[in-house]
Every structure is written in structure tokens, then in C-alpha cells.
Amino acid sequence: KNQVEQSPQSLIILEGKNCTLQCNYTVSPFSNLRWYKQDTGRGPVSLTIMTFSENTKSNGRYTATLDADTKQSSLHITASQLSDSASYICVVSAQNTDKLIFGTGTRLQVFP
């Protein structure tokens, strides 16, 4: 069964610190993996999209990694800011399908 699991479920860090969010998936055959940021009361916004051949992709202070062999991805946030407080959702797409499989997200709270 195609699944996407994220950890931790929630995370609290202090402003300026780094953090790493994890995503494990069982989706096969793999097509691409995305990370979305969802602010409270808003729609998800795309951070990165990675295909099978990409190991790392950055978007400002956000860096996503992908290990297609172990079916794991991580999202690293550098020098966190208060505005990073949000849910981060890992989404995986399988080949030959139009459907995305969503993880339940990691709720990040950044405190001053």
C-alpha cells in the first residue's frame, strides 16, 4: 500500500536554531517527492519538488534531500525564523498515476 509517514509529528525549536524533518515512503514506482509548507488557516505552498535523480534541492533556508534507495527524504531548515512556524507536508507521486499521496505533516513551532 502506498503510504507516506512523517516524523516527528510536532516539533518546537527556538528561533535561530536548525531542524530536520523526516519523511519515509513506500510509494512505488516512485515518480517525485514534494515538500509543502502550510501556514495555519492557509493553503499549502510548494517548497521543493524532487525527481528520482535528484539528491538535494534548496529553496532559501530550506534544503530537501532524497534517498530513493532507502525511500527517505528530509527537510532541513537553517537558522529558523518565527515565520517558519507551520505544518510541513511531504507528498509523493507514483508513476502512471495522477494521484499524490500526502503525509500527515509535521507541525513546527518556532519560539523567540
Residue 14 or 99 having the CB closest to another protein: 99
Interactions with another protein, residue window 23-42 (CB under 8 A): 31-32, 34, 38, 41-42
3-state secondary structure of 84: helix
Compute the distance between CA of residue 79 and CA of residue 105 in angstroms, rounded to an integer. Answer: 21
Other CB atoms within a 10 A radius of the CB of residue 56 amount to 12
As a whole number of angstroms, the distance between CA 65 and CA 58 comes to 9
The residue among 5 and 15 lying less far from another protein, judged by its C-beta, is 5
Candidates 20, 46, 58, 109: give the one binding another protein (CB under 8 A): 46
Q: Does 6 engage in binding with another protein (CB under 8 A)? A: no
